[in-house]
């Protein structure tokens, strides 16, 4: 298992690579979203069920389109991403559309230090795990951001 410094160093390198790769003009089209179309896959909606009124942490949220779609379904969404530029774009889109998502520039491995609240649900979309070094540490950080459910 990699130590925490190695994981954070690799995450920083991945963040920089992600920013270069995914911040090209025209990569994402927003017209469909703005017209009310959803970017969420049926399996995602089916697995999470009714999210109305639930707090949802969207990990590696990128430009926030999926976060905003979860909000349209009634979730109280906080999106986090390690790309400051992606978070700024997501927040600007949220503000433009008059929505109520919160976007935070954060390293997922350090959620406990970044976010005080705990969430009902955590979501990471397609392609995220490829970018995650130290998956066990990432999963522990995500688990610590969730509320405990008592059965």
Q: What is the pLDDT along the chain (151 residues), one digit of tens a residue?
A: 455 555 455 555 555 544 444 444 444 467 777 888 888 888 889 999 999 999 999 999 998 999 999 999 999 999 999 899 999 999 999 999 999 999 999 999 999 899 999 999 999 987 777 778 888 999 999 999 999 754 4
Q: φ and ψ at 115, to 5 degrees?
A: -115, 130
Q: Taking the model in full, what pTM does it have?
A: 0.79
- Residue 132 domain-assigned (yes or no): yes
- Residue 80 domain-assigned (yes or no): yes
Please tell me the total count of domains within the chain: 1
- Residue 77 domain-assigned (yes or no): yes
> Pairing relation of β-strands 121-124 and 102-105?
unpaired
Domain that holds residue 121: 4-18+51-144
- Residue 102 domain-assigned (yes or no): yes
- Residue 41 domain-assigned (yes or no): no
- Residue 66 domain-assigned (yes or no): yes
CATH number of the domain within which 126 lies: 3.40.50.150
- Residue 109 domain-assigned (yes or no): yes
What ranges in the chain are assigned the alpha helix state H? 4-22, 31-34, 42-48, 65-72, 84-97, 111-114, 135-144
Predicted local distance difference test score (pLDDT) of residue 18: 46
Asked if residues 40 and 69 have their Cβ atoms less than 8 Å apart, the reply is yes
């Amino acid at each position: 298992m990699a130590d925490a410094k190695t994981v954070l160093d690799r995450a920083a390198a991945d963040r920089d690579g992600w920013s270069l790769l995914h911040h090209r003009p025209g990569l994402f089209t927003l017209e469909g979203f703005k017209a009310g179309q959803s970017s969420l896959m049926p399996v995602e909606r089916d697995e999470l069920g009714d999210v109305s009124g639930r707090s949802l942490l969207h990990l590696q949220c990128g430009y926030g389109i999926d976060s905003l779609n979860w909000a349209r379904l009634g979730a109280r969404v906080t999106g986090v991403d390690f790309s400051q530029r992606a978070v700024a774009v997501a927040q600007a889109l949220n503000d433009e559309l008059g929505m109520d998502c919160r976007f935070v520039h954060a390293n997922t491995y350090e959620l406990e230090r970044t976010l005080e609240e705990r969430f009902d649900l955590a979501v990471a979309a397609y392609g995220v795990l490829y970018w995650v070094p130290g998956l066990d540490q990432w999963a522990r950080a995500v688990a610590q951001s969730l509320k405990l459910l008592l059965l």
